[in-house]
C-alpha cells in the first residue's frame, strides 16, 4: 500500500498540489484522473521521488519515503516498476536488452538467470520469441507490452504507469488495461495508473482519485463514479455525448 498525506507542491506562485491525501491499496488498480494541468504527473513524481513535495508524506507500506536517506530510497526504487508514457524503450537495444537493463543495473544474477527472467516476462505479456527485435520493428501496442515486461522484470511491489494508453487504438488500449489489471491481481502489486482514458476509468478503475485544479475532488470506484453529483467530476468523465448517453446504463 502506498499512502500520501497532505501533499502540497508549488512551482513559484503556481500551487499545483494542495493537501492531497490518498491510500492506494495492493492488488487493485488505482487510477489518478483529472484534466490537463490538474497535477497528476506532479503527484506521481512526488511519489517516486522525482519531485520533492513542499509539505506532506509519502509512505510505502508504512516506510516513510520523503524523509529517507539516499540509500534507503534506492532500496525502495528497486521495488518500483515504471511504465513510462510512450514506452521509453532504448532504440539501440533489442527487446531482450531493454528488459534485461534493470536486471543488469540492480542485480548480480548470472546471464542465464537474467535470460530466464526476460523470457518469463516476455511470455507474461504474450511476446515470446521477440527477443532479438528492435523497438523500431514493433507496433505501438507491442512497445507498451515490452515496457510492461521491463517494468515487471524486477518483480516489483509497486507499479506506476503514466498514460499507458497514449497513442494506442481503443482495442489495443483495452488489451493493455487488462494486462495491467491481471498483473496487479496476480502479483498483488500496488499499481497506480495516471490516465485520461475514460474506457480505462470504467474498465479497470477499482479505486479512482480525481484531481481538479490541484485538489482532491473525489475518490471512489468505477461502480460509484456514474452516481455522483459532483459537477466537476461529471463534466470531466461524462464530457462526450456518448459517455453522457452511456452514463445511465452504468
Ligand X SMILES: Nc1ncnc2c1ncn2[C@@H]1O[C@H](COP(=O)(O)OP(=O)(O)OP(=O)(O)O)[C@@H](O)[C@H]1O
Positions that interact with ligand X (CB under 6 A): 11, 14, 16, 34, 36-42
Helix (H) or strand (E) holding 40: helix 40-48
**Which residue number, 7 or 225, has a Cβ lying nearer to ligand X?**
7
Beta strands in the chain (DSSP E): 2-11, 14-24, 29-33, 55-60, 63-64, 80-83, 158-162, 190-194, 207-212, 215-220
- Whether the CB-CB separation of 151 and 81 falls below 8 Å is answered with yes
Least distance (Å) between residue 129 CB and ligand X? 35
Residue number with CB closer to ligand X (16 or 125): 16
Q: Which CB sits closer to ligand X, 85 or 172?
A: 85
Q: Minimum Å distance from CB 187 to ligand X?
A: 26
Q: How far is the CB of 219 from ligand X (least distance, A)?
A: 16
Task: Please provide residue 12's backbone torsions phi and psi, each rounded to the nearest 5 degrees.
Answer: 60, -125
Residue 189 CA to residue 164 CA, distance in Å, equals 16
**Burial bucket for residue 84 (CB in 10 Å: 0-12, 13-18, 19+):** middle
Q: Which is nearer to ligand X, 13 or 229 (CB)?
A: 13
Give whichever of 36 and 67 is closer to ligand X, judged by the CB atom.
36
Q: Closest CB to ligand X among 158 and 236?
A: 236
Measured from the CB of residue 160, what is the shortest distance to ligand X in angstroms?
A: 13
CA distances 155 to 82, 106, 244, Å, are 12, 12, 40
What's the min distance (Å) between Cβ of 248 and ligand X?
28
Q: Do the Cβ atoms of 97 and 116 come closer than 8 Å? A: no
Smallest separation, CB 104 to ligand X (Å): 30
Amino acid at each position: 500500500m502506498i499512502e500520501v498525506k497532505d501533499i502540497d507542491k508549488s512551482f513559484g506562485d503556481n500551487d499545483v498540489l494542495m493537501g492531497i491525501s490518498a491510500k492506494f491499496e495492493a492488488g487493485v488498480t488505482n487510477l489518478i484522473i483529472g484534466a490537463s494541468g490538474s497535477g497528476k504527473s506532479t503527484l506521481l513524481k512526488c511519489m517516486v521521488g522525482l519531485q520533492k513535495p513542499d509539505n506532506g508524506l509519502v509512505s510505502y507500506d508504512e516506510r516513510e519515503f520523503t524523509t529517507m536517506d539516499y540509500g534507503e530510497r534506492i532500496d525502495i526504487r528497486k521495488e518500483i516498476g515504471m511504465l513510462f508514457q510512450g514506452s521509453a524503450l532504448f532504440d539501440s537495444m533489442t527487446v531482450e536488452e531493454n528488459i534485461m537493463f534493470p536486471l543488469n543495473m540492480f542485480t548480480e544474477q548470472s546471464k542465464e538467470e537474467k535470460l530466464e527472467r526476460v523470457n518469463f516476462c516476455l511470455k507474461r505479456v504474450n511476446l515470446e520469441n521477440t527477443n532479438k527485435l528492435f523497438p523500431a520493428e514493433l507496433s505501438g501496442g507491442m512497445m507498451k507490452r515490452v515496457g510492461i515486461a521491463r517494468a515487471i522484470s524486477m518483480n516489483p511491489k509497486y507499479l506506476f504507469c503514466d498514460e499507458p494508453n497514449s497513442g494506442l487504438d481503443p482495442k489495443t488500449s483495452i488489451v493493455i488495461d487488462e494486462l495491467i489489471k491481471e498483473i496487479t491481481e496476480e502479483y498483488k502489486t500496488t499499481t497506480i495508473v495516471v490516465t485520461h482514458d475514460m474506457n480505462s476509468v470504467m474498465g479497470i478503475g477499482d479505486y479512482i482519485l480525481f484531481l481538479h485544479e490541484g485538489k482532491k475532488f473525489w475518490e471512489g470506484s468505477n461502480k460509484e463514479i456514474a452516481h455522483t453529483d459532483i459537477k466537476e467530476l461529471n463534466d470531466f468523465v461524462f464530457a462526450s455525448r456518448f459517455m453522457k448517453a452511456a452514463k445511465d446504463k452504468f
